[in-house]
Structure 1
Amino acid sequence: MEKLREVGRPVVRVDAYDKVTGRAKFTDDLCPKPCLEAKIYHATIGNGRVVSIDTSEAEKVPGVVAVFTCFDVPDTCYPVAGHPWYADSAAAKRDQADRKLLDDRVRIYGDNIAVVVGEDTVACDRALKKIHVEYEEYPVVYDALESMKGTNPPVQDRKPDNIVAHSLARTSEEDLARAGYKTVEEALEDPKYHHVKIHAESREQSQVHIETCVSYCYMEGGKIVCVSSTQIPHVVRRVIGQALGIPWGDVRVIKPYIGGGFGTKQDVHYEPLNAWICKQIGGRCVKLELSREELFWDTSGRQPKTFDIECSYDDEMNLHARKIVAYSNTGGYIHHGHALVLNSVNSFRWLYHTQEVATHSEAYTIHTNGPHTGAMRAYGVPEGNWAAECLMGDIAY
């Protein structure tokens, strides 16, 4: 009973008083003022390649310290999601690493192709307007099913069919045989049962946390210090090291209170670029903060998904067999990738499944030129639950 002494009585959060009284310090509160500011130049096309960038006029703007382009940064790919890192670096590169600090290959509208560093945001904003870019444009595909047919060029070179991953789980042949069937489809089409098909779609969704994504970096004692509003400080440290090609021990990450994240800040967004800029300008403090508009197009919200569902059931509305095929649109980059739609089909499968004799759960994750997506609250489960409830609603109706 000693272990249960806290049950049944309220417990005050250790951070409650500081937050409600305004004493809590968030990233921008801690950032030394004044400091240098960095602003991203985003691509104005949805698919293509940067042919050339003219930054000569931008560099002349008063207050501009430096302008860097996709042709200046290391040709190094790194992952952004908080997945475990492989000991096998080749496997890690193959499965996760698809981002660069800045990239000449434009996969989505708003991709990052240049950055301006200035004494203040006014100088940065003025300089951004004076950057001139020449593109080679490719056709844009936003629909996942259309993208699965193949695009030229593919969204990511290592995924020529634009399919990130495909998974299939079915009731075993042995279990089906015990129920008198050879396949799940035979159980679905058994004339003794009612049959229903539905198509359901869940849309992309942004977390819209109050504090946007923000970090500042400086060098101290030969190390890069990154103070960031992030949910994954240890992963940020690792990814900065990977992206810059430096030992992880040369990076220190500090995570203050965060003003909301709900999954967006479970990805590494601009911290590696900010750290690289800091090194290029001699370790001076640089802050990089996203606007609300940038947050919508260039951070990761919930993946849009489509579900094709079949079900057979008896007169008492007991489920007999179910089949779900889910298609998840991960946009131009993998981020949290296939794990999310797997959670969707698994949550669908385990809701109401006790009376079933046959199940078929199939999932695809597909690249498109749509905004990249990633973790969001409950990590794919709400979409699967919603699809299952849509099915039960149709049966009950």
Structure 2
Amino acid sequence: MQEYKKGKIVLNIVVISFMLFGLAAHYISLRELRFYNSKIITLYSLMIALTFTIIYGNSMWGDLQTNQWDLKNAVKLYSYMNIVASVINYLTAIILSRVFVCYFNSVQLFGYIKFFKISGKMVIDSVRIVFLKSFLIPTIYEATLVVQQIHNDSSINLLLTLHTLLPMIISQVFPNLFFIALVTCKMLMVTLNERLGEIVKEVNFMQSAAQMRIQKPYYRMQRYCELADRLDTLAQKYRLICQHTTKYVQLLAAPLIYSLLCNLCGITCGCFTQYLAIADTLVNNEPYDVFNVIINAVFLGISIIEVLLQGQISNENRLKVQETGIILQRIKLTHADERFKQAVEEFSLLILVVKYKIQPFGLLEINISLVQHVISAVTSFLLILVQSDLTQRFSLL
């Protein structure tokens, strides 16, 4: 019950924060825990989105007109990418507002939490990785921006770094929600598999020779019916968890795809920038700028961590979903009741029918192999860029 109350408080804080930033064109009823559309909040979100686009759009246009588009500068590069990503997030929040309301009202997340009785330890373990993704990374961004500002010109107000940090935070809102959704899905699937394992253990124990001699036929029939009912309930929860998770991925498909593209671009440019620093020193005898290399390395490392976290949590969810089918196969049905056999067959068929894939727009499945695809793409781009740069350098000698 404590986790339930804490979850309600956290949900309310998150929704209100999103409303203030203009990323939620709807509101939540604190008493009913239901979402509702609002024309006033939608208009407010639209005004925030337009204000953000005008301010940062003018900044990008000004840099373009004054030839200050320095894509070798990690801060500039990430700022441009995150401004575009933030605009995509605002468009997603406004255009899909009604769809989000229908979806959230159908999920009944707290009903799942009460049903599975999620342990406090599991919640704490999950919060740690969510904290890393949602809070620690923006903190590293801000610390890096402050250090760079002090190094370049300490006389300028350090609060100006928040102007650069804001798009970095807003651009990651929906990818972070996707990440939190997968963490929640993993918690529910772990608990579901534990409940299923208890049923398997009891059914197999009831079919041992000693138990079959001791137990009366009526008791066995009654107990099998009870276990079948529990199995049917778990099958229903399994279907809803998989369907809600995959549907939520499709709602956030545009921000997710663009986030992956930003990270791909950031890793490629970060690696190429590190190469340029070394090449300028060795070929052109220029001084090695250690400070800028470290700044670029920080942003490069964050992009790599983002890809690793998304791939890892998606892969863990996929394995937990597959584990349900593996546990179900351990059930011995030789001496089981017909009602229970029917429940097992229906659950097995459901696992075959329900397709669980984290695949935004059906383009690219997000799992641990995503890291391999990113490494392959970055290597290909780097070979082209390095070859082109070396050709240009040696042609001038």
Scaled by the length of structure 1, the TM-score of the pair is 0.27
Scaled by the length of structure 2, the TM-score of the pair is 0.27
Which has the larger Rg? 2
Between structures 1 and 2, the one with greater strand share: 1
Between structures 1 and 2, the one with greater helix share: 2
